Amino acid sequence: MGFTSRLATFALETAFSDIPANVVDRSKEMMLNAAGIGLAGSAEEEGRIITEYVQDLGGTPTCTVLGSTLRTSPELAALANGTMVHVLDFDENVDRRGNHPSNVMYPTVMALGQSLRRSGSDVVSAFAVGCEVSTKLGAAGDLDEQFPRSAGFGWHGMAVFGTFGATVAAGRLLRLDQDQMENALGMACSQAAGLQVNHGTSSKSLQAGSTAMRGIMCATLAQRGFTGAKHGIEAEEAGFFAAYRRGSDVDEDEFFGRLGNPYDVIEPGVRIKIYPSGSLTHVSIEAMLRLIEEHKLNADQVQSIRVSVPARWDGSVYPVMRPLTGLEGKFSLGYCMAVCLVHGAPQIHHFTDEAVRDPRVLAVIDRVTVDTNEQPTERASRPSTVAITLADGREISYRAEFARGHKNNPVTDKEIHAKFAACSQSVLTPIEVARVIGEFRRLDELPDVEPLFSSLAAIAPVH
């Protein structure tokens, strides 16, 4: 058996009982988080556009589109829901993997779990295995590095490698056999797509939705008899690794020895976001907020702000730029520092097109500089030091190692539930919020997920 075949075997033969209890719990937590931010995303302009788009396309009305009364086919529901889950950049990321797997896996398993009326344990196991395939495959050959090699070539890991995770998750729910799963993975090799150049635009969130849609398509077509290269991942000259890693030097036995051993969501670990901005801003935000709290700072007291971070995979840093849109603001380290100083911890409403024009925030951005003098360590891959020169000439600084939500700086269940409640308040009543949280927490015990996923619709009609 080659790499593709072995991956198909892992995807199909990993039973729910084989998945560690902490992975099951983390998977349910990630799905609850994704559902909440998807409901919040449905209120964004991108949420409205993508909902109207799939409504115009039609589709068999079997699956819920988050935050609306629209029901459509699994593929189109996954397209819309994945886009809405990622549009706020409020999801999670897996340390050292450059990947946000639930943006792709949740809309995939929500759509097929609902349309096929699968059990909660089927959905949880499909989600967990899909996430593991997505993140491990994306870092194949680089499992102990700070960033996967592919990131340096401009690929957006969530989208490119998420295609395989979504295909695996969909294939499990469709109950493919070994031959069909191999064909589906072969098709996924040609469907994988996503570039970092679109960070800060609507296309970044679209890449999550389109990836979920393609995963369902690959698995469904394989079920119907479509074929794909059964050595598609490992083929030396024209295969997936050769194209996306620009080399076929992955140690196959090492990879499969570590696949699910442990699951990436446990080690190196997944981080649930508390701030709705790009992942690489979060440790700096922690350092900035600590200084503000300890020294009771306001903007008038600050002469300059210097932020030190490790270089990204391409040697660059997140920009200081004055953003022109709310989406650009999520990826401007200068804007995020300024928001902290002017408003406190960043919230969803700080990343609108109107908010980024706030003159108080813009004045602070001009005082921010960023360097790449910070060095990652074995303990902390993305530390950040924020040094502030005060108006009276004094200097203060703080070095943060972990963002809030990291396993070494964890959030509580109460905080996660509060985030879900805040994100879903325009769609769900407080009573419904409590019920939905409870059902996600015992998702693996539900005999049929359809009622839960149906309850994530809006009461008001789509306009």
> Encoding tokens for residue 348?
């969803």
The pLDDT score that the predictor gives to residue 248 is: 76
What superfamily does domain 279-400 belong to in CATH? 2-methylcitrate dehydratase PrpD (3.30.1330.120)
Pairing relationship of beta strands 368-371 and 395-400 according to DSSP bridges: unpaired
Residue whose pair of structure tokens reads 């549009």 in the numeric block: 87
In which order are the strands placed within the sheet that holds 368-371? 368-371, 302-308, 384-390, 395-400
The pLDDT score that the predictor gives to residue 147 is: 83
- DSSP assignment string, 175-195: T--HHHHHHHHHHHHHH---B
For residue range 66-101, list pLDDT tens digits in order.
999 999 999 999 999 999 999 999 999 998 898 999
Distance between start and end Cα atoms, the chain: 52
- The pTM (predicted TM-score) of the whole model is 0.92
pLDDT at 129 over 90: yes
The pLDDT score that the predictor gives to residue 461 is: 40
Helix, coil or strand: residue 365: helix
The pLDDT score that the predictor gives to residue 459 is: 67
- Average pLDDT, integer, range 13-29: 98
- Under a CB-based contact definition with an 8 Å cutoff, are residues 272 and 26 in contact? no
pLDDT at 156 over 80: yes
Helix, coil or strand: residue 272: strand
pLDDT at 455 over 70: yes
Q: pLDDT averaged over the chain?
A: 94
For residue range 275-329, list pLDDT tens digits in order.
999 888 999 999 999 999 999 999 999 999 999 999 876 667 777 789 999 989 9
> Encoding tokens for residue 250?
């992955």
Domain ranges of the chain: 3-274+427-454, 279-400
- Average pLDDT, integer, range 186-199: 94
What percent of the chain is modeled with pLDDT above 70?
98
Of 46-60, 138-152, 176-190, 427-441, which range is least confident? 138-152
- Average pLDDT, integer, range 186-212: 95
Cβ-proximal residues to 75 (8 Å cutoff; 6+ apart), any chain: 59, 111, 213, 216, 217, 220
317: amino acid identity, one letter: V
CA–CA dist 384, 344 (Å, integer): 18
What superfamily does domain 3-274+427-454 belong to in CATH? 2-methylcitrate dehydratase PrpD (1.10.4100.10)
Binned at pLDDT 50, 70 and 90, residue 463 comes out as very low
- Average pLDDT, integer, range 197-205: 91
Pairing relationship of beta strands 395-400 and 384-390 according to DSSP bridges: antiparallel
The pLDDT score that the predictor gives to residue 379 is: 86
For residue range 355-414, list pLDDT tens digits in order.
999 999 999 999 999 999 999 888 888 899 999 999 999 999 999 999 999 989 999 999
Please count the other Cβ atoms lying within 10 Å of the Cβ belonging to residue 226. Answer: 15
The pLDDT score that the predictor gives to residue 318 is: 73
Comparing 46 with 315, the larger pLDDT belongs to 46
- Under a CB-based contact definition with an 8 Å cutoff, are residues 281 and 31 in contact? no
Helix axes 120-138, 162-174, angle to 10 degrees: 150
pLDDT at 198 over 60: yes
Burial (CB count <10 Å: 0-12, 13-18, 19+), residue 248: middle
Cβ-proximal residues to 128 (8 Å cutoff; 6+ apart), any chain: 19, 23, 24, 27, 263, 265
pLDDT at 208 over 90: yes
Comparing 81 with 247, the larger pLDDT belongs to 81
